[in-house]
Amino acid sequence: MNRPDRPGTPHDDPTPALPAVTSFADLDLPAEVLSALAEHGVRDPFPIQAATLPNALAGRDVLGRGRTGSGKTLAFGLPLLARTAGRRATAKQPLALVLVPTRELAQQVTEALTPYADALQLRMATVVGGISIGRQIAALRDGAEVVVATPGRLHDLIERKACRLDRVRITVLDEADQMCDMGFLPQVTEALDQVPGDGQRMLFSATLDRDVDHLVSSYLHDPTVHEVDPSAGAVTTMDHHVLIVHGPDRYAVTTEIAARDGRVLLFLDTKHGVDQLTRHLRAHGVHAAALHSGKSQPQRTKTLAQFKNGQITALVATNVAARGLHIDDLDLVVNVDPPADPKDYLHRAGRTARAGESGRVVTLVLSGQRRDMSTLLTEAGVRSKTTKVRSGEAELSRLTGARAPSGTPLDGPADASRPKNTNAPFRGLGTSKDTTRGTTGGKSRKSSEARKLAEARRAAQVRRGR
């Protein structure tokens, strides 16, 4: 085990951070990287890049706190590439490692860094589940200086002796809190224990709870600390709305929002609910697609690409899309199923109003959920406006851009996808897991939903108090 003996933690007397810069030209970046930045229209560093880059390029450990969407990929990616340039990896032994929680984020990081890696003639490999492990073994055998990986697939490759980490000099943990929330802490520490203890580590996380604090204190040495950007609840360009809907009107309200002129990201709690709503929307003429863990990786990649280029206008997703994804100019996020945890709310909300842009977050609730939703938003530090709405009303259109769908089925008859009980919300209600649940109807469902929402909120309070 290569865990370093590092007495210097963020709580000891820290070494002062280097001052921020105002231009990429002020940094000790290779000329090839500066040319690639200019070629891709990246002119001025974002605040997190201006603050982090001088220290990361100097080899300092870095701790970044805050939500995504502020340019942190280049904040850790450019130093990682610049400090790896000129070295050559041997078979199965990468020189730099980026760990991320999801396949989508891994591919996004790889895409963002590839132009600069190519400029420096560095080879990158993306190591994630859902894709042929044989091809990934071959890429590592051929030699890759930089590996971007999800913890589970990296663990599998290490177990197969297809990857060794003893030559890794720079390690990045991106979205560390989500990796811990998803149960990846053992795989993350396993990887860090195999990385040489005197290498550079950079960790980015929205929160520093118990597990993340363990990673920071155990594996980072005297890091410079930077706020990546404020939480979603503090973003001044983000508006939050709670819309009180009548049960039988939920489908109509959701369908009209999804049919708006412009893209929208709609969150539900289960794969079953996502698939059901997607079928309904497409049957009514809305260009919708589903994104959840039950889809193959090629399907997920294609769906995201179509949503980004506008072929798909309504992306219906579980929490698999709540973290790490960056979609330019997305101005509306809708919680069709209210999240059960303040952290989930903030991460869903963080898909809009990114990098200084404006955005709106809308949550649909039944009257029986109103009190618990108000408590959840208070715990999330969010101020919201509450409005009662019905389908077809001008107020719904004003807040969300809702409009009547074309009604022309994209895949089949419109009636085929609509549940018989239109009072039933789209999931089996009551779970925030990415799983399939059954449905029940009537008042018992409403009370069950409110009760389970309250139980989840209390559980979250207990976790935070530990």
Per-residue pLDDT tens over the stretch 316-328: 999 877 666 777 7
Computed from CA positions of residues 30, 34, 40, 42, in that sequence, does the dihedral angle turn out positive or negative? positive
Q: Is the pLDDT of residue 373 over 50?
A: yes
List the single range of 80-89, 179-188, 230-239, 349-358 with lowest mean pLDDT.
230-239
Note the Cα 383 to chain centre separation in Å: 22
Contact predicate 184/151, CB 8 Å: yes
Query: According to the model, what pLDDT value does residue 352 have?
Result: 83
Q: Find which of 80-94, 318-332, 432-446 is predicted with most confidence, using mean pLDDT.
A: 80-94
Closest CA relative to residue 146, chosen from 73, 89, 63: 89
CB count in 10 Å sphere of residue 256: 23
What number of CA atoms fall less than 13 Å from residue 145's CA on the CB side? 18
List the single range of 35-39, 189-193, 365-369, 461-465 with lowest mean pLDDT.
461-465
Question: Rounded to an integer, what distance in angstroms lies between the CA atom of residue 120 and that of residue 12?
Answer: 37
pLDDT classification of 423: cutoffs 50, 70, 90: very low
Query: According to the model, what pLDDT value does residue 3 have?
Result: 44
| Number of residues assigned to the chain | 466
Question: Rounded to an integer, what distance in angstroms lies between the CA atom of residue 307 and that of residue 362?
Answer: 19
% of the chain at pLDDT higher than 90: 58
393-404 burial by CB neighbour count: b if 16+ within 10 A, else e? eeebbebbbbee
Q: Quick: pLDDT tens for 88-99.
A: 999 999 999 999
List the single range of 281-295, 328-342, 433-447 with lowest mean pLDDT.
433-447
Contact predicate 157/140, CB 8 Å: yes
Which tokens hold the place of 272?
């079953």
Contact predicate 281/314, CB 8 Å: yes
Considering only residues 11 and 237, tell me which one the structure prediction assigns the higher pLDDT.
237
Query: According to the model, what pLDDT value does residue 321 have?
Result: 75
pTM above 0.75, yes or no: no
Residue with tokens 């798909």: 312
Q: Is the pLDDT of residue 281 over 50?
A: yes
Query: According to the model, what pLDDT value does residue 356 have?
Result: 57
- Mean pLDDT across the chain, nearest whole number? 84
Q: Is the pLDDT of residue 359 over 60?
A: yes
Note the Cα 208 to chain centre separation in Å: 17
Query: According to the model, what pLDDT value does residue 456 have?
Result: 56
Query: According to the model, what pLDDT value does residue 36 have?
Result: 96
Closest CA relative to residue 453, chosen from 423, 425, 432: 432
